[in-house]
Amino acid sequence: MAFANLRKVLISDSLDPCCRQILQDGGLQVVEKQNLSKEELMAELRDCEGLIVRSATKVTADVINAAEKLQVVGRAGTGVDNVDLEAATRKGILVMKGRALRLGRKLGRKTNSENPLLLTFLGGIRSLAFSSL
């Protein structure tokens, strides 16, 4: 799957503000909305190519099937038990995960803006927009 059309990303759980900035600096439109119901999440994803979640958002088969433009799901944290991997695989959606967002606290940092793993994780999502050029 080519990711040349990755333009809009929804962040549906709370993340460090630097995450939004990193993605915007890469030319992506970023929408942040938290505490969405399943129906609200499906509506928001109608025109999004990317989704970044933590553990609160459940990315079910229904959500995946309703998200016609979705190309990538980024799971900020460990594990992907809140993402239906079979449904994502059937639709050719890439699922990425990263432990980056909690590492800053473990290293004694107040913010994750200097966290190299966070930058790598977000950079991976951002660079997908240019991977087929």
What are the pLDDT digits (tens) for 100-133? 444 444 444 444 444 444 445 555 655 554 444 4
Task: Tell me, yes or no, whether 3 lies in a domain.
Answer: no
Cβ atoms of 66 and 39 within 8 Å: the answer is no
> How does residue 19 score in pLDDT terms, banded at 50, 70 and 90?
confident
Q: How far apart are CA 84 and CA 2, in angstroms?
A: 21
Mean pLDDT of 20-47: 92
The residue with greater pLDDT, 17 or 104, is 17
Strand order through the sheet with 94-98 = 29-32, 8-11, 50-53, 72-76, 94-98
pTM to 2 decimal places: 0.78
Please say whether the dihedral angle defined by the alpha carbons of residues 72, 75, 79 and 84, taken in this order, is positive or negative.
negative
Q: How far apart are CA 70 and CA 92, in angstroms?
A: 9
Task: Tell me, yes or no, whether 107 lies in a domain.
Answer: yes
Q: State the residue range of the domain holding 55.
A: 8-126
Task: Tell me, yes or no, whether 131 lies in a domain.
Answer: no
- pLDDT exceeds 60 at position 14: yes
What share of the chain has pLDDT > 70, as a percent? 71
- pLDDT exceeds 60 at position 64: yes
CATH of the domain at 70: 3.40.50.720
